[in-house]
Amino acid sequence: MAKVTCSDGTVLSNIEIQTGEISNPVTPNLDAVDTYGDTSDYELLKHQLADPDIKDAQIINWLQEFRNCVTQLSKDHEQLIYVALRLPWLGRSPAVVEEYLSFLSNLVSAQTVYLRACLKMVVSNFKPSEFLPVCVDILITQYGYFEDVLFFLPFQRDTSCFLMPILIDNFPFVQKSSRTLECYVHNLLRVAVYIPSLRRDVLELIISRMLKLDVSAPRGEIEEVEENAVQQELKGEQEEEGLFDMDEDVCSVKSSPAGTNVMVHPVAERLDTLMVVLLAFIKDMCHVNSCLDVERTKDLYKDLVGVFDKLILPTHASCHVQYALFYLCSFRLALAEAFLEHLWRLLQSPSHPAVLRQSAAGYMGSFLARAKFLPVATVRACLDLLVPWLHLYIDSQDSGSRAYCDITLHGPFYNACQAVFYTLIFRHRSILEGNMKKGLAYLQSLNLERIVMCQLNPLKVCLPAVTNMFAAITRKYQLVFCYTIIERNNRHILPVVRSSVGGDCVSTNTNPLDSFFPFDPYVLKRSSKLIEPLYQVWEEPADTEVDTVTTKRCSDADEDDFLRGETPETKGVMGMTPGSYESHLHSPSSVGSPKTLDPCPSPAAL
């Protein structure tokens, strides 16, 4: 036995010289530990592997030797394996990366006891570190390593329970940088591509974290911060122009956050980044070679609806995350109709909690009003479900002991009424277009007057902006005269002082349903480029007489939401409700989206 020293002075290990050939230099060390308990050279080997200045050639040499004796690397040698798993292989030459991935694949194949440790190492590199400021997309895109390791996962008893805890434990805190979150979520979605059985769990994990960001950044707060940034920029430019008013400066272009797609609001910036990644994933999962794959789209829809029911629907006042489903439904009318049918079943089913039924009504009304891709026939079909249900509910209550205005008793009914009113505010023009006579006949057939005049008095609890706009529109077309009831309701509302030191009086009835419209205007900058073409903005009817307060609120040409200031905005709280793909959208920057393998369906399949 003799020790061999490399040209750079590194001691490899004990070797045997037999017939002029060099045997495996790692095996004798393992045998010495197993047989004689001699750990001196074994410890030296671990020390050499842990050297931060280890060279590429040394790493390749050791990895090749490990591969040759991988069957001997049992549980007894786990310390050596853990040192090998901490090798600084990322960011090195392609030869090192390829050799390392081959070693890991062989190790997992021969010694499944190390599978969890290998996966932990891989997942820990899904986000950039201070030593390697790039995410480990190279793992999957160039070498397909994850596919090799995951080949052995089907032999585990429960893949989801095995891998998901690792993915959950390594998820960065939502306060981390946008780049860190972007890298991790991007790689999580790649895992969902390679293991379809994990996709719903992965989406649930991602969306749960995104909801925490969403409820921490109310729409009004984001708009205020962004507007202040614009004002500060304009003020700075004016001051600078006053000091340096030179002709050659006219052509200069100055970059600032307010003039770019970067959000000034830090939480909104992180959420916007993740929405770009998620929407890109949805688009690429549903399309192959620019063709919609119907079966893949249906499967993804089922997963997203499952996550919607579990997380999004019960979350009060989320502003943006729900647009993932909005975007998916735009791919095919059948998806949008399936989503509306799903919401309808939730609303009219007494077996579901009232809070979820109320939330479903809000989603249904907001989706009908805001989804530009919905034809008027679909809107009418939904009204033909909602309005008769309201009449049946009135029939069951008007003659009973509970025929009075009470939100706790009739919450789903009131939210369904508000959904109908809100839908008609946005869609009455499309219903009347083409044939005014038939359109009016249809609206008259809804018998809205009975709903408004019933003892349950829905106008008393609906948002005042919705009530006033609905009253103005229905009076114009002589469908219902609501103002008598509105005035009577206002007389029963006692004003209260805003503060103990005096000030404006406000009504106690501004939003008794605590309702919100989930598809109110989308204010995230980069991801909005995918949403805007699908979104119906608010256009105030110029020929409609509305309440002066509502008119003042809607007078700003830049404001889309006539409900501004009346719907709740939650800050940092998650709770139950009471009631064209462009280059800048790749995720992360320039790395693309998870690859798809299925061929494009034929036109007949579409």
The proportion of the chain whose per-residue pLDDT surpasses 70, expressed as a percent, equals: 70
Nearest C-alpha neighbor of 369 from the set 383, 385, 355: 383
The pLDDT of residue 569 is 53
Handedness of CA 372, 373, 377, 382 (dihedral sign): negative
**410 vs 151: which has the higher pLDDT:** 410
Query: Is residue 189 a part of any domain in this protein?
Result: no
Mean pLDDT of 266-279: 97
The pLDDT of residue 566 is 57
Contact 409, 402 (CB under 8 A): yes
**pLDDT tens digits, residue range 464-511?**
999 999 999 999 999 999 999 999 988 876 555 555 455 555 555 567
The model's confidence at residue 240, banded by pLDDT at 50, 70 and 90, is low
Based on the fold, state whether residues 122 and 231 are members of the same structural domain.
no
Query: Is residue 248 a part of any domain in this protein?
Result: no
Query: Is residue 54 a part of any domain in this protein?
Result: yes
Query: Is residue 120 a part of any domain in this protein?
Result: yes
Based on the fold, state whether residues 136 and 229 are members of the same structural domain.
no
The model's confidence at residue 551, banded by pLDDT at 50, 70 and 90, is very low
**pLDDT tens digits, residue range 416-443?**
999 999 999 999 999 999 889 999 999 9
Which residues, at least 6 apart from 205, have a Cβ–Cβ distance to it below 8 Å? 164, 167, 168, 171, 188
Which of 101, 133, 156 is the endpoint of a domain?
156
Average pLDDT, the chain: 79
Query: Is residue 252 a part of any domain in this protein?
Result: no
Contact 329, 339 (CB under 8 A): yes
The model's confidence at residue 221, banded by pLDDT at 50, 70 and 90, is very high
The pLDDT of residue 241 is 60
Output helix, strand, coil percentages for the chain, rounded to the nearest 5: 60, 5, 35
Task: Fill in the DSSP letter of residue 588.
Answer: S
The model's confidence at residue 568, banded by pLDDT at 50, 70 and 90, is low
The proportion of the chain whose per-residue pLDDT surpasses 90, expressed as a percent, equals: 47
Contact 448, 391 (CB under 8 A): no
**526 vs 4: which has the higher pLDDT:** 526
Based on the fold, state whether residues 576 and 473 are members of the same structural domain.
yes
Which helix or strand (DSSP H or E) is residue 179 part of? helix 178-194
The model's confidence at residue 102, banded by pLDDT at 50, 70 and 90, is confident
**pLDDT tens digits, residue range 47-79?**
888 888 888 998 999 899 888 888 888 888 888
Which range has the worst mean pLDDT, 3-17, 24-38, 151-165, 187-201? 3-17
The pLDDT of residue 235 is 73
Burial label, 89 (beta-carbon count in 10 A; 0-12, 13-18, 19+): buried
What one-letter code names the amino acid at 232? Q
**181 vs 239: which has the higher pLDDT:** 181
Based on the fold, state whether residues 435 and 584 are members of the same structural domain.
yes
The pLDDT of residue 336 is 98
The model's confidence at residue 153, banded by pLDDT at 50, 70 and 90, is low
The pLDDT of residue 255 is 43
pLDDT above 90 (res 391): yes
Nearest C-alpha neighbor of 476 from the set 522, 541, 527: 541
Rounded Cα distance, 229 and 235, in Å = 10
Based on the fold, state whether residues 400 and 284 are members of the same structural domain.
yes
The pLDDT of residue 49 is 85
Based on the fold, state whether residues 97 and 224 are members of the same structural domain.
no
Which of 101, 128, 156 is the endpoint of a domain?
156
Contact 316, 577 (CB under 8 A): yes
Which of 156, 177, 197 is the endpoint of a domain?
156
The pLDDT of residue 532 is 96
Query: Is residue 213 a part of any domain in this protein?
Result: no
Mean pLDDT of 384-407: 87
What one-letter code names the amino acid at 124? S
The pLDDT of residue 585 is 42
Mean pLDDT of 554-570: 54
The pLDDT of residue 26 is 54
pLDDT above 50 (res 146): yes
Domain, as residue range, for 584: 219-238+257-605
Beta carbons within 10 angstroms of residue 396's beta carbon: 12
Contact 273, 181 (CB under 8 A): yes
Query: Is residue 546 a part of any domain in this protein?
Result: yes
Based on the fold, state whether residues 141 and 232 are members of the same structural domain.
no
Give the total residue count for the chain.
Answer: 606
Rounded Cα distance, 598 and 532, in Å = 29
pLDDT above 60 (res 319): yes
Query: Is residue 267 a part of any domain in this protein?
Result: yes
The model's confidence at residue 539, banded by pLDDT at 50, 70 and 90, is confident
Which range has the worst mean pLDDT, 49-58, 123-132, 206-215? 123-132
How far is the CA of 350 from the CAs of 345, 390, 407, 413, in angstroms?
10, 14, 16, 12
The pLDDT of residue 405 is 81
Q: Number of folded domains in the chain? A: 2
